Homo-oligomer: A and B are copies of this chain.
Amino acid sequence: MFKKILIANRGEIAVRIMRACRDLSISPVAVYSEADRDALHVRLADEAYLIGAAPSVESYLLIERVIEAVLKSGAEAIHPGYGFLAENASFARAVKEAGITFIGPTAEAMDLMGSKTSARRVAIEAGVPVVPGTTEPLESFADAQETAAQFGYPVMLKASAGGGGKGMRLVESADGLRSAFETAQSEAQAAFGNPEVYLEKAVERPRHIEIQIFADTHGNCVHLGERECSIQRRHQKVIEECPSPIDEPSLRERMGAAAVLAARAVDYVGAGTVEFLVSDTTRDFYFLEMNTRLQVEHPVTELVTGIDLVREQIMVAQGAQLSFTQDDVRWSGHAIECRVYAEDPDNNFMPSPGRITQLRVPAGPGIRDDGGVSANAEVSIYYDPMISKLAAWGRDRAEAIDRLRRALDEYAVGGIKTTLPFFREIVRDEEFIAGRLDTGFIARFNERRAGAAQADEAADETQRDMALIAAALHYSERQKAPVAQAATAEQSKWRMAGRAALRGRS
């Protein structure tokens, strides 16, 4: 058994992986940037090494600094989490060359699946159906124009190296192509260090459904069922569930078999996810890409199958056989996850960095919150603004929604804006409750929401009066009392610390 594992990541996923390490009595080692000196993932680690400045290209993306840290710590393995270096084959190679175990697939599998164009080729060869699109990166804007005209609009621009919606743009007509092409390239460069983008025909009203697979080094490859990830904004998932509201065992079986086929085609090892577009009418599915890593939405699969995916990753990395066979896998109940972001849903989901002044995390039956922050934590401008994944399990989808609604209402985050109010509306939305999901859900939801806003206005006069009275009480408190001033002094100190953090390396 490994004695020590270095986690080459930050935030909630670093904390999640550390918990699996602790379960296995493995000592977790953190790395951190200057912006993360007192981050939760540092505080929960046994060891922590500074690997550079706040911008991730100067720290979390620096392969050599991570390798330095792992050698210094004496850890035997590296878990990359997701994002950052998780799908970087050069990193996997560098780790291997340093004599350290990389917790993930081989660099070869990552190469094949890491580029979406190459992944498409693999899928086609393995007999897995794909969406019409280019298999090579676009060479120029002219190339993009020509290809888009050939497929017919709408088309989708995607980063070859990408994931998470970054470098992805839906283009409705020829007018928007140039700006979208340039922005996608530039985002792809910033996020992945590779500006290549490619084009796909956009499938209308598609469902985004993915299959979790797991393979060991002994030739076993098993699927753990699907996750429905159709609720997306800016092409980034925000709510995921397991099983899909479609919940059709025969579809699960067919998609699972296709996913295992794709994984076997690259001799996959560890946890991976094969993403499909599913036509809601025909129930045909098309291979989109394979993510050669853990997914943000892994908790819903864990809640429904009972299998701890991170624990299993660690066990498989040290050569163990999978702890389950395909026949052992049972899907019990229903789980839904919300990604809680530090973003302002009333202002086009603009990031809302800052100091978290209050934090009440929901708990109780069926609720799991995988968070990466604590009260007083600073949400930095440098990284992905996700502060937590909130998941609810129920015996059926209705019970899972009941619990999710309760947990969202209980959740309180002060000092920054979050997507919580947005989710509170979604779980009360009739279309969501009915499970009518596709990737256009949020756009339609926003229209319904705009229409309903007027009605809510006069909502609860007494509650509004209480808000006014509380504000007035606070105002009068601040006029007097040295104690109140003390609290203010404390806040100023935090604010100054916050500003210093925003200035970065100053």
**Is A368 in contact with B361, judged by CB distance below 8 angstroms?**
no
Alpha-carbon separation in the docked complex, A20 to B370 (Å): 22
Q: How far, in whole Å, are A283 and B332 apart by their CA atoms in the complex?
A: 32
Query: Do A363 and B374 have beta carbons less than 8 Å apart?
Result: no
Q: Is A384 an interface residue (CB 8 A)?
A: no
Q: Identify A364's interface contact among B15, B332, B333, CB under 8 A.
A: B15
Chain B residues with CB under 8 A of A22? 405-406, 409-410
Neighbour of A489 across the interface among B323, B332, B402, B486, CB < 8 A: B486
A184 to chain B, nearest CB (A): 35
Residues of B within 8 A of A333 (CB): 306
Number of interface residues of A (CB under 8 A): 49
A19 sits at the interface (CB 8 A) = yes
Q: Which partner residue on chain B sits nearest A493 by CB separation?
A: B483
Of B19, B332, B363, B375, the contact of A369 (CB 8 Å cutoff)? B363
Q: How far is the CB of A335 from chain B (nearest CB, A)?
A: 12
- B-chain residues with CB within 8 Å of residue A365 when the two chains form the complex: 16, 19-20, 299, 302, 308, 310, 368, 370
Contacts of A308 in B (CB 8 A): 365-366, 395, 399
The answer to whether A402 and B364 touch (CB under 8 A), given A482-B489, A486-B487, A489-B483, is: no
Contact of B332 with A360 in the complex, beta carbons under 8 Å: no
Contact A370 B360 (CB under 8 A): no
Q: Judge whether B364 and A363 touch: CB under 8 Å.
A: no
Q: A332-B332, A406-B23, A490-B486 in contact; A364/B370 too (CB < 8 A)? A: yes
Closest to A333 in B: B306
How far apart are A124's CB and chain B's nearest CB, in angstroms?
37
Contact in complex: B360, A374 (CB < 8 Å)? yes
> How many angstroms between the C-alpha atoms of A25 and B403 in the bound complex?
10
Is A126 interfacial (CB-CB < 8 Å)?
no
Assuming the contacts A23-B402, A306-B333, asked whether A361 and B364 have C-beta atoms less than 8 A apart, the reply is no
* Bound: A310/B306 CA distance, A: 23
CB of B302 within 8 A of CB of A23, answer no
CB < 8 Å: which of B363, B403, B486 contacts A486? B486
Flag whether A44 is at the interface (Cβ < 8 A). yes
**Is the C-beta of A371 less than 8 angstroms from some C-beta in chain B?**
yes
Complex alpha-carbon distance, A19 and B366, angstroms: 11
In chain A, positions 471-505 with a C-beta closer than 8 Å to chain B are 482-483, 485-487, 489-490, 493
Interface residues of A in 357-413 (CB under 8 A from B): 360-361, 363-371, 374-375, 395, 399, 402-403, 405-406, 409-410
Question: In the complex, A374 Cα to B490 Cα: how many Å?
Answer: 21
Nearest B residue to A482, CB-CB: B489
A443 within 8 A of B: no
Q: What separation, in Å, do the CA atoms of A369 and B368 have in the docked complex?
A: 10
Q: Which B residue sits closest to A370, measured CB to CB?
A: B364
- Pairwise interchain contact A16-B364, C-beta atoms closer than 8 A: yes
- A246 in the interface (beta carbon within 8 A): no
Cβ of A307 within 8 Å of any chain B Cβ, yes or no, is: yes
CB distance from A18 to the nearest CB of B (A): 9
Q: A361-B363, A369-B363 are in contact. Are A44 and B410 (CB under 8 A)?
A: yes
Contact A368 B360 (CB under 8 A): no
**B-side contacts of A323, CB under 8 Å:** 395
Residue of B nearest to A16 (CB): B364
The residues in A between 18 and 39 inclusive whose CB is less than 8 angstroms from any CB of B are 19-20, 22-25
Partner of A19, one of B330, B364, B399: B364
Write the chain B residue with the least CB distance to A374.
Answer: B360
Shortest distance in angstroms between A223's beta carbon and chain B's nearest beta carbon?
18
The minimal Cβ–Cβ distance linking A499 to chain B, given in whole angstroms, is 16
Interface contact A395-B332, CB-CB below 8 Å: no
Checking B16, B20, B332, B375 against A306 with a beta-carbon cut-off of 8 angstroms, the contacting residue is: B332
A23–B332 CA distance with the chains assembled, in angstroms: 20
> Are A402 and B19 in contact (CB-based, < 8 A)?
no
Distance between Cα atoms of A332 and B361 in the complex (Å): 27
CB distance from A331 to the nearest CB of B (A): 12
Kindly list chain B residues whose C-beta atoms are within 8 Å of the C-beta of A367: 368
Q: Please give the distance in Å from A397's CB to the nearest CB on chain B.
A: 13
- What chain B residues lie within 8 Å of A485 (beta carbons)? 486
Supply 15 further A-B pairs (C-beta < 8 A) apart from A20-B365, A485-B486, A487-B490: A15-B364, A19-B410, A23-B399, A23-B403, A308-B365, A323-B395, A363-B369, A363-B370, A363-B371, A364-B368, A365-B368, A375-B375, A483-B490, A483-B493, A490-B490
A-B contact pairs, 25 of them (CB 8 A): A15-B364, A16-B364, A19-B364, A19-B406, A22-B405, A22-B406, A22-B409, A25-B402, A299-B365, A306-B332, A306-B333, A306-B395, A308-B365, A308-B399, A361-B361, A361-B363, A363-B363, A363-B369, A364-B368, A482-B489, A483-B490, A483-B493, A485-B486, A486-B487, A486-B489
